[in-house]
Amino acid sequence: MKNLLTILCLFCFIASSQSLFAQDYASVLDNVSYKKRSPIYDYSELQLSNTDTIPDFDTKSEKLKITGTIYQSDGKTPASDVILYVFQPDENGNYELKRDDLHKRYIYHRGWVKTNADGQYTIYTFMPGKYIRSKELKQIHRVIKEPGKPEYELASFFFNDDPLIPDLTLACRAKAVESMLRLEKEGTMFVATKDIILEKSNSTIE
């Protein structure tokens, strides 16, 4: 296992000369155990696209398209080369777990996008479910990675049609609205447009 990780780190180090993003990726591999590092780094392709499709999208009845623009902390400047990682439960509220070739467990319904020069992203997925008696809102979890900075979690995507919204306190409801998806129906697919404004942070990866 140690030799395999060394080879992976060496490969990423060589590829890092191609872009700043690859440099960040190699740095993480060198300093964090593969099984313990954030799954935001576990994509299979070095170069990501600003569009991705969650596994099983084609077979689900309630298809969902999420699209928008990621902005710098000023709320005006499009943020390019930002990675957005999402993962979610299936339509029954279950987080389906699998293991990769290195025996690391991961949530199957997940995906990655990397914004283009205009900060745009699009994710094709499906409506997540929740346990029948659960008091949690339906949600899609999010982690974000800016070039040269550590990854951090964002509030989950929530849904404006969630029946539990009216039961929230005013404070919780106001917080949920910040990342809430307002759904529209286009043909057989739900569509939601949601822009993201990055957090202000001076921390960088050394």
With a CB cutoff of 8 Å and minimum separation 6, the contacts of 202 are: none
Same domain, yes or no, for 92 and 109? yes
- Is the residue at 204 inside a domain? no
Strands 51-53 and 184-186: unpaired
Same domain, yes or no, for 99 and 74? yes
Distance between CA atoms of residues 141 and 40, nearest Å: 12
63 phi, psi to nearest 5 deg? -75, 150
- Is the residue at 81 inside a domain? yes
Same domain, yes or no, for 79 and 7? no
Q: Which residue has the higher pLDDT, 98 or 16?
A: 98
- Is the residue at 102 inside a domain? yes
- Is the residue at 152 inside a domain? yes
138-176, pLDDT tens digit by residue?
Answer: 999 999 999 999 999 999 999 999 988 888 889 888 888
How many structural domains is the chain composed of? 2
Distance between CA atoms of residues 118 and 77, nearest Å: 9
DSSP, res 178: T
Residue 32 has a pLDDT of 59
- Domain interval for residue 29: 1-37
Residue 87 has a pLDDT of 98
Same domain, yes or no, for 80 and 129? yes
9 phi, psi to nearest 5 deg? -65, -40
Place of tokens 């499709």: 53
Same domain, yes or no, for 54 and 24? no
CB atoms within 10 A of CB 105: 10
Distance between CA atoms of residues 170 and 79, nearest Å: 32
Same domain, yes or no, for 26 and 47? no
- Side-chain-side CA neighbours of 98 within 13 Å: the count stands at 9
- Side-chain-side CA neighbours of 195 within 13 Å: the count stands at 13
Same domain, yes or no, for 92 and 7? no
> Terminal CA-to-CA distance of the chain, rounded, Å?
26
Angle, nearest 10°, between helix axes 2-15 and 20-31? 160
Same domain, yes or no, for 14 and 91? no
Residue 8 has a pLDDT of 37
- Is the residue at 109 inside a domain? yes
Same domain, yes or no, for 27 and 99? no
- Is the residue at 189 inside a domain? yes
Distance between CA atoms of residues 16 and 12, nearest Å: 6
Q: Domain of 124: which CATH number? A: 2.60.130.10
Same domain, yes or no, for 74 and 143? yes
Residue 83 has a pLDDT of 97
Identify the band that residue 134 occupies on the pLDDT scale cut at 50, 70 and 90: confident
81-120, pLDDT tens digit by residue?
Answer: 999 999 999 999 999 999 998 889 999 999 999 999 999 9
Residue 47 has a pLDDT of 79
- Is the residue at 206 inside a domain? no
